[in-house]
């Protein structure tokens, strides 16, 4: 790693250290909601004077305050908002088509959005909601954006995960909870494990595409937790405190994302898992299993009803069948 960053490093500090990797470049961020890690990521990037920030989420109006804040930091940054519901495959396809049509390249895709429900819900495509919104939507979107990523000199994909993968055994066969009782913890754990395995597969097969998974740390007070009742949030805080983890600010939570997106030294750590701004060992046995990234990829192709293969970086045609 290039710097001695740690758990209290802020997003602005990372951007300042890697300003050359921000200036003039194009970043796409999913789920950059106000009062969230995604917003903190976008605002810090704006201070580094990128060419374009592409904001992706279900409700475009929700991101207008974030876009306004970006423009207040640097009026020269092009801010584009695309309405995409990551829990709807048709919405992802339509949104990706617009992005590919209206943009020349993307340098970094930051798959930041996440979702959880307290009861078992399925999307219009018949996929458990959390698995769809956290992984399947990002899987499809990222693959459909490969033509733009291939036009970058140094393309990267960053998946936000968490240490909740320790809650999952990696049973992708039961992603819809047909055989096991549903809990938001089990759903979230499987989805966060998928974020890790997705990054690992991209790193191994992406022909020059760098990909990483990042645990932002413990960040409460985000819109992500709005669906949970107060008693359950309080219980989560108790568990976190018992583990000795420190609650982070949004700016601290976004720092690891930006290290993964920007640090040139990470080219030697393809597919790595990062936490507290450093490459860390994987925590769960499921995350270490070498068979699961491939299994997840094939399942994901089945769910989106489309197969994807990788082409050399010099080829800018769409990868897919």
**Any idea what the CATH number is for the domain that residue 259 is in?**
3.40.50.720
Nearest partner of 168 among 143, 196, 149, 207, judged by Cα: 196
Query: How far is CA 167 from its chain centroid?
Result: 19
Q: What is the pLDDT of residue 201?
A: 98
| Radius of gyration for the alpha carbons in the chain, expressed in angstroms and rounded | 18
Q: What is the mean pLDDT of each run of 10 residues along the chain (321 residues)?
A: 85 98 99 95 99 98 98 99 99 99 99 92 98 98 98 98 82 97 92 97 95 88 57 61 74 98 97 97 92 98 94 47 32
Does any domain span residue 2? no
User: Annotated catalytic sites, by residue?
Assistant: 188
Q: CB under 8 Å to 307, separation ≥6 — which residues? A: 301, 320, 321
In angstroms, rounded to a whole number, what is the distance separating the alpha carbons of residues 57 and 76? 22
Does any domain span residue 273? yes
Q: What is the pLDDT of residue 233?
A: 59
In angstroms, rounded to a whole number, what is the distance separating the alpha carbons of residues 140 and 312? 19
Does any domain span residue 318? no
Q: What is the pLDDT of residue 245?
A: 67
Does any domain span residue 3? no
Does any domain span residue 308? no
**CA distances from residue 230 to 37, 119, 235, 242, 253 in whole angstroms, order as listed:** 20, 16, 9, 18, 22
Q: What is the pLDDT of residue 219?
A: 72
Residue-range definition of the domain harbouring residue 61:
11-303
Tokens of 266: 């990470």
Does any domain span residue 247? yes
pTM for the whole thing? 0.91
Beta bridge partners of 79: 53
Does any domain span residue 86? yes
In angstroms, rounded to a whole number, what is the distance separating the alpha carbons of residues 10 and 209? 26
How many domains, in total, are found in the chain? 1
Does any domain span residue 314? no
């Amino acid at each position: 790693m290039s710097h001695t960053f740690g758990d209290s490093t802020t997003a602005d500090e990372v951007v300042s250290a890697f300003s050359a990797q921000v200036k003039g470049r194009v970043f796409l961020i999913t789920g950059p909601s106000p009062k969230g890690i995604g917003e903190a990521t976008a605002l810090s990037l704006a201070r580094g004077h990128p060419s374009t920030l592409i904001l992706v989420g279900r409700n475009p109006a929700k991101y207008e305050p974030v876009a306004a804040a970006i423009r207040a930091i640097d009026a020269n940054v092009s801010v584009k908002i695309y309405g995409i519901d990551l829990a709807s495959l048709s919405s992802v396809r339509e949104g990706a088509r617009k992005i590919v049509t209206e943009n020349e390249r993307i340098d970094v895709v930051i798959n930041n959005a996440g979702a959880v429900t307290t009861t078992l819900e399925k999307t219009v495509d018949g996929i458990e909601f959390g698995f769809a919104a956290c992984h399947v939507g990002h899987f499809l979107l990222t693959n459909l954006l490969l033509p733009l990523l291939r036009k970058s000199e140094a393309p990267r994909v960053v998946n936000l995960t968490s240490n909740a993968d320790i809650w999952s055994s990696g049973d992708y066969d039961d992603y819809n909870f047909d055989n096991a009782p549903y809990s938001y913890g089990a759903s979230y754990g499987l989805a966060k494990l998928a974020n890790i395995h997705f990054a690992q597969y991209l790193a191994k097969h992406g022909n020059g595409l760098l990909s990483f998974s990042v645990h932002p740390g413990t960040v409460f007070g985000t819109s992500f937790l709005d669906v949970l009742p107060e008693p359950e949030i309080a219980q989560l805080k108790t568990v976190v405190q018992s583990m000795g983890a420190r609650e982070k600010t949004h700016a601290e939570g976004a720092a690891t994302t930006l290290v993964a997106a920007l640090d040139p030294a990470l080219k030697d750590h393809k597919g790595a898992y990062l936490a507290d701004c450093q490459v860390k060992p994987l925590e769960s046995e499921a995350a270490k299993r070498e068979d699961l990234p491939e299994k997840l990829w094939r399942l994901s192709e089945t769910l989106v009803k489309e197969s994807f293969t990788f082409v050399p970086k010099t080829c800018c045609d769409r990868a897919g069948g």
